[in-house]
Amino acid sequence: MKLGRLNHVGVATPSIERSLETYRTLFGAEPSSPAFDLPAQGVRVCFVDAPNSQIELIEPLGEGSPVAKFIEKNPQGGQHHVCFEVDDIAEARAHFESLGTRILGPTRIGAHGTPIFFLHPKDMGGMLTEIMESPKQAH
Ligand SMILES: CC[C@@H](C(=O)O)C(=O)SCCNC(=O)CCNC(=O)[C@H](O)C(C)(C)COP(=O)(O)OP(=O)(O)OC[C@H]1O[C@@H](n2cnc3c(N)ncnc32)[C@H](O)[C@@H]1OP(=O)(O)O
Ligand SMILES: [Co+2]
């Protein structure tokens, strides 16, 4: 399994609107498209494009959001996860399983419409890590 490009850095925020205001004021940056809800993931999402990657702003959505506890502990928000692309999600999952790396939940469809899963931060040096099938592989 080969490590692919850094697709995005996930940034948890109590308010996407307030975070966008910060990117606008400090960098003159606009979101690549309007914010949208992903109820199945328990988050509201908005992307800001950088030349080589994206910032994924995520706000808690609904009961039991996976971001809720993070925001409780970090009321201003902060860096939440990094996301690396892989060519083949099933191969990547089998690879991490064979190494005993803890995988958080099932493989599901992420914000880019391709399959994703998460590796436990305790097995990644304290960094919650999303593994995402590269959009060019999806059919
Ligand atoms: C937009 C859709 C999608 C995409 O396509 O890009 C996304 O990115 S969705 C992003 C949100 N979804 C997820 O995060 C799913 C995976 N996350 C989880 O399963 C859980 O949030 C978690 C990582 C297992 C944390 O569990 P939780 O119950 O929320 O918190 P705890 O406080 O019990 O955490 C246990 C332990 O882990 C540390 N931790 C928690 N979050 C992070 C983090 N983001 N980065 C690093 N470490 C983290 C936490 O500090 C605890 O450590 P100890 O206190 O030492 O036990
Ligand atoms: Co993400």
What pLDDT does 55 receive? 98
What pLDDT does 21 receive? 98
What pLDDT does 139 receive? 53
What pLDDT does 125 receive? 98
Which of 6, 57, 69 best tests ligand 1's pocket when mutated (most atoms within 8 Å of CB)? 69
Instruction: Indicate the pTM of the whole model.
Output: 0.96
What pLDDT does 4 receive? 96
**Alpha carbon of 20 to ligand 1 centroid (Å):** 23
What pLDDT does 95 receive? 98
- What are the contacts of 18-23 at 24+ separation with CB within 8 A? 19/46, 19/57, 19/77, 20/46, 20/48, 20/57, 23/48, 23/55
What pLDDT does 45 receive? 98
Where the chain has pLDDT below 50, the residues are: none
Q: What are the φ/ψ torsions at residue 79 (nearest 5 degrees)?
A: -65, 125
